[in-house]
Chains A and B, each alone.
Chain A
Amino acid sequence: AQSVSQHNHHVILSEAASLELGCNYSYGGTVNLFWYVQYPGQHLQLLLKYFSGDPLVKGIKGFEAEFIKSKFSFNLRKPSVQWSDTAEYFCAARYGQNFVFGPGTRLSVLP
């Protein structure tokens, strides 16, 4: 079955700490990968996406993600988090017309 897993349920960091959120997806041929962020009470917003080409993808707000095909992974990174990054982060994979989301990782950044 197509599935996306995220390694951490809740991550707590201090401001300026580095962030890495894990995401693994199940094999399904050609897969497009996405990271979305959901701030409290808001809708999901696209952070970045991977379609093909350079496996290191840069997104908005200083986030980046690395696609490692051999590990079926698409981890999200940010070198220095801010309090305003407090949110829930969702990894998603597109299999054909079906988008599958991970369960989400809640990030809390302490000022």
Chain B
Amino acid sequence: DAGITQSPRHKVTETGTPVTLRCHQTENHRYMYWYRQDPGHGLRLIHYSYGVKDTDKGEVSDGYSVSRSKTEDFLLTLESATSSQTSVYFCAIREPGDNQPQHFGDGTRLSIL
């Protein structure tokens, strides 16, 4: 398995609080992604990064921000969490190259009450 660690694995918090999820990789892959997984929707892209300090928005970026100050770390922040952001969040990494697949972390289950 790819060296991807997501932290925390589970978190319960209250509406209006800030939340930061961390994705750490040991593979030195250039591309990193944050997805949320919800029943009936599959995985939806929140943000991705194509290098240090280089990020772009995905399909469902509203309410989320990201930062990548080092190759190995990609942080996802919910500035003021809402109940609609209750979900399972997956980080993925990928090497450059058209035929390179994504490799996924174990996910973070986030519940916002």
Please indicate which of the listed interface residues B35, B43, B103 has the most CB atoms of chain A within 10 Å of its own CB: B43
Chain A-chain B contacts (Cβ-Cβ < 8 Å), number? 49
Q: Which of B41, B48, B101 contacts A97 (CB 8 A)?
A: B48
The number of chain B residues with a CB under 8 A from chain A is: 23
Residues of A with C-beta under 8 A to B48: 97
Residues of A with C-beta under 8 A to B104: 36, 43-45
Please indicate which of the listed interface residues A97, A99, A100 has the most CB atoms of chain B within 10 Å of its own CB: A99
Interface size range of chain A in the complex: 20 to 34
Question: Chain B: interface secondary structure?
Answer: strand
Q: Please provide the chain A residues from 53 to 111 with a CB less than 8 Å away from any CB of chain B in the complex.
A: 90, 92, 94, 97-104
Q: Please provide the chain A residues from 1 to 58 with a CB less than 8 Å away from any CB of chain B in the complex.
A: 4, 9, 30, 32, 34, 36, 42-46, 49, 51-52
Instruction: Identify the A interface with B (CB < 8 A).
Output: 4, 9, 30, 32, 34, 36, 42-46, 49, 51-52, 90, 92, 94, 97-104
